[in-house]
Each structure stands twice: as C-alpha cells, then as structure tokens.
Amino acid sequence: MTTQQHKNALQGPLGWGLLVVAMAVLLISLGYAFSQIIANGHTSFNTSSALPWGQPIATYVFFALGSSGLGLIASLPLVFGFKQYYPIAKRCVFLAFALLISGMIVLALELGHVFRMLWVIPANLQVQSAMFWMGAFYALDLLFLLWKFSKLQGGHWDSKTAKQVGIASFVGVLLASGNLALIFGMMSMRPFWFDPLMPVYFYVTGITTAVAILVLLTYLAYAFKQTRMPAPLQALLTGPLPKLFAACVGVTLLLIAVRAITGLYSNNPEINVVWTDYLFKSGVYIAALLIGLLLPFVILLSKLRNSMGIQVVAALLVTVAMFAERLYFVVGGQVVPLFKGTWIPDLISYTPSATEWSLTFIGFALCFVIYLLGEKFLNLGDMPSQMIDHTTPRKPIEATA
C-alpha cells in the first residue's frame, strides 16, 4: 500500500529556524545542568530527605503520560479502526516516542546512579517493585512505538503485522502508564496518592495532555494555516478531534473535582491539608484549574472549538495546566511532614531550583528537537492511500456538530 506525502511548513526554513532555537535551548540547558550536577551533585536540587521527589520527577511523569496518551490516540485508527484519525496517526506515534525519550532523559538526570541502573535492575529482577515493572513496560512501549513507526514509515498501515504491532503497542501503553500510576497509587503511607483507580486518572489526564500537544504541533506543522492542510486532516481538526479534546478536558476536571471533594471531606490531614493549605492556597494551581482547564473546557463546548485560534490557545493553556498539575500532584503527596506530629509545624516548602528547571527545559527542548527532525525527514503527515482522494487542500470545513 502506498502513502500520500504532504509538504509542511516545518520542512522549510521555519523548521530550520525552530530547530536552531530548540538546539540552542537544549545545549544551554544541558550545559548548565551538567555543570551544576557535576560540581554540586544533587545539592543543586531543592529536594530533600523530607521531600525527595520534585520537579524533575513531575517532568518525567508529564512526558511519560503525554507519550502514553499519544499512543492511545494513535490506537484509535490503528487498532480500533476510527479511520478519521489516520491523518494524525503517524505524528502521534512519533511524538509518543519523542516525549518518552525526553522523559526518560530527565529521569536519568534525576537519579543518583543512572548507569548503574542499566545493569542492576535486570540483574536483580525485583518483581515486587512497581518501579521495576514501570521500567520494563516503558522499555517495551518504546520498542513497540519504534516498531509501529517503522511499519507506518514503510507504508504498512493495514497489514496484519502492523495491526498486531499496533495491538501490542496499545497493551504496552496501558501497562506502562498504569504501572506509573501505581507507583503513586499503591503507596498507602502517602494517602494523597493512595488510590486504586489512579491508573484511570493517569490514562485520562495523559490523553488530555496528548491531545493538547498534538493540536499545538499539528497546527505548527502547517504554519497555523488550515488551508495548507490535507482535507482529511482539516476534517479531523474541525470535527472529531476538538470534540475529543473537550471531552478529555471535561473528564480531567471531573476527576480532579472528585479527588478534591473526597480530599476536603476527609479528616486525614495528609489528604485534607494538602488541598486546603497547599493546592488551594497556591495561585498557580488555582490558575491552572480555572484558566488552564475550566476556561478551555467552556470554550471548547461551544462551536468555537472548530476555530484554529481557539484550539491553539486552548491547547497551550491545557499543556501548561497539565504540567502544573503533574508538579502539584507529585509534590502534594509529600508536603505534609511524614510522621513528625508538631515537630515540624508547617508544610514542607519546595520551590524548584534553577538546576531542576534546567532539567525541565532539557525535556521540552529535546522533545521539540526530535519532533522537528521527524517533521523534516520522516513525513509525519502521511496517511493511507485510501484517503488520497480527499487530500487536495481546500477551504476549512464547517463542522456540523
């Protein structure tokens, strides 16, 4: 089966310009992070024995779940046969790879002994640890993503092997992100996180992050001009995708609301105080909820959701809000001093250090560099030949929904 290729803006000078900028940010961030970590070790982080997991872990969670969300969206056409999602399938798979690699690099820089990890985990096989399984499943996820992408790159959209790899990848994504959720959700001694349904929360919020990133980068690929897009992509971006976006943001808000209500109702200070004295006392967190999630949700409910400008703004807001959500989620589980009574009279304070921010920048810059290279050299806008008849650029389609 042949594939139809489309020129996009990132294959031209715009792509080179952005690549130079992203590379510069990546190199500067890497240089700063390495200089600090080599000279000062983890004292350059603002984490502590009382609050051991900070922004680098939150950044990893953001990227890993974003990757999983993209993998799940790619499964819509590749596993479940929702053909209208074909125009973004290849971009989803590649972005999932880019996000996962970026997250893993950030996590590696956070660990005390990253190279030791490479032999000591397989050599000791601690199958009781959720973190062991997270490593195993995300490694499998990465493998299947690459395999799946190689199939799409070869034009095998509907072959039997492509389907099988797609199903394996879908299962791998569910296992990997589900296990990441359980790393937090199984910690009964950390009641803010303890939740058997944490995987559901991670799946939904992962897809929300994924749609936001996908919308942003797809429009960027066509220089924010809908008329440059092939018709099936236009149809997707003015029909099913914004509806999915609205639904995901809505369910994310619902899940956060449920967690907040149960947390506020609870007498347990390790849950209650996190909401009253940490999350709802933070202007950033409230802004993330109201401006980053609720506002986009309300706008996306209306017909305005088919407008490119609205989608781009909503996607930008949701991306930032989801990053904030990850940070407040990871830190929130640790801010109540563990087993200290009144020995420590206040919540443990934590503000990311410059080194920790540089790790976050490394993640975003690396992800963007990989993505730009993909757009430039791997034709991420490919779709199956049966859609060729609809690929002539035309005016934006008015959605009927």
Partner 1 sequence: MAKWGMVIDLDKCTGCQACTTACSMENNTLPGETWQDVLFYNAGEYPSGQMKWLPRPCMQCENPSCVHVCPTRATYKDPDAGGIVFVDWNKCIGCKYCMIACPYGVRFYADEKPLIEPDIRDVFPGENAQLWSPPYQSPDEDWRRGIGIQPKGVVSKCTFCYHKVKNAPEGTADLDEDNPDVKEYVPACVRTCAPKARYFGDLDNPESHVNQLIGDKHGVRLKDHTGNKPQVYYLGAGAGVPAFTPADRENDA
Question: Binding residues for partner 1, per CB under 8 A?
Answer: 41-43, 45-50, 52-53, 111-114, 116-117, 120-121, 124, 126, 128-132, 135, 183, 187-190, 268-270, 273, 277, 333-334, 336-343, 345-347
Q: Select 333 or 384, whichever has its Cβ closest to partner 1.
A: 333
Q: Select 135 or 384, whichever has its Cβ closest to partner 1.
A: 135
Q: How far is the CB of 20 from partner 1 (least distance, A)?
A: 35
Contacts of 26 (CB under 8 A, 6+ apart): 361, 362, 365, 366, 369
Q: How far is the CB of 209 from partner 1 (least distance, A)?
A: 23
Q: Select 33 or 207, whichever has its Cβ closest to partner 1.
A: 33
Q: How far is the CB of 264 from partner 1 (least distance, A)?
A: 15
- Tokens encoding 391: 């690929």
Q: How far is the CB of 339 from partner 1 (least distance, A)?
A: 5
Q: Select 190 or 243, whichever has its Cβ closest to partner 1.
A: 190
- Tokens encoding 200: 């559901």
Contacts of 14 (CB under 8 A, 6+ apart): 223
Q: How far is the CB of 90 from partner 1 (least distance, A)?
A: 33
CB neighbours (10 Å) of residue 265? 10
Residue 120, CA distances (Å) to 7, 109, 249 in order:
46, 17, 40
Contacts of 268 (CB under 8 A, 6+ apart): 191
Q: How far is the CB of 10 from partner 1 (least distance, A)?
A: 36
- Tokens encoding 265: 């109702």
Q: Select 176 or 387, whichever has its Cβ closest to partner 1.
A: 176
Q: How far is the CB of 63 from partner 1 (least distance, A)?
A: 17
Angle ∠(129,75,168) on CA atoms, nearest 5? 50
Q: Select 79 or 130, whichever has its Cβ closest to partner 1.
A: 130
Q: Select 15 or 332, whichever has its Cβ closest to partner 1.
A: 332
Q: Select 118 or 290, whichever has its Cβ closest to partner 1.
A: 118
Q: How far is the CB of 178 from partner 1 (least distance, A)?
A: 17
CA 206/CA 37 separation, integer angstroms = 30
CA 131/CA 109 separation, integer angstroms = 17
By the 8 A CB rule, do 24 and 77 touch? no
End-to-end CA distance of the chain: 33
Q: How far is the CB of 240 from partner 1 (least distance, A)?
A: 39
Q: Select 38 or 160, whichever has its Cβ closest to partner 1.
A: 38
Q: Select 112 or 283, whichever has its Cβ closest to partner 1.
A: 112
Q: What are phi and psi of 187, to 5 degrees?
A: -85, 85
- Tokens encoding 178: 């589900």
Q: How far is the CB of 205 from partner 1 (least distance, A)?
A: 20
